[in-house]
Homo-oligomer: A and B are copies of this chain.
Amino acid sequence: MLIGKVSGSLWATRKNEKLNGLKFLLVDIEEKNQYRQTLVAADNAGAGFGDLVLVTTGSSARIALDGADIPVDATIVGIIDSVEQTK
């Protein structure tokens, strides 16, 4: 999984109908204190702007949503309270 910070949201009225009802958030994935890439992730954890989140990717993103036919490849599965890391 990847750690990222929620930096925004997006609005798309014309989209695959299986995506209806999902909230999509922009997540900046961190790479050693240097932001690398912004992913769009479905929110499965009630995340908000500025939250540090845990993102799962690939086929597990669908499994997180309990929907085998929802075409997502990244889902927020947790909101991180704290990280303990030795540098």
Residues of A within 8 A of B (CB): 1-3, 7-16, 18-19, 24, 26, 30-32, 35-41, 44-46, 49-50, 54, 56-64, 68-75, 77-87
Contacts and interface: CB of A to CB of B under 8 A. Distances in A.
B11 A80 contact: yes
From A7, A39, A64, name the one whose CB has the most chain B CB atoms within 10 angstroms. A64
28 contacts: A1-B24, A1-B40, A1-B41, A1-B72, A1-B74, A3-B38, A7-B86, A7-B87, A9-B83, A10-B54, A12-B79, A12-B81, A14-B45, A14-B46, A15-B79, A16-B44, A18-B63, A18-B64, A19-B77, A24-B54, A31-B36, A40-B54, A50-B86, A56-B71, A56-B73, A60-B62, A64-B71, A71-B75
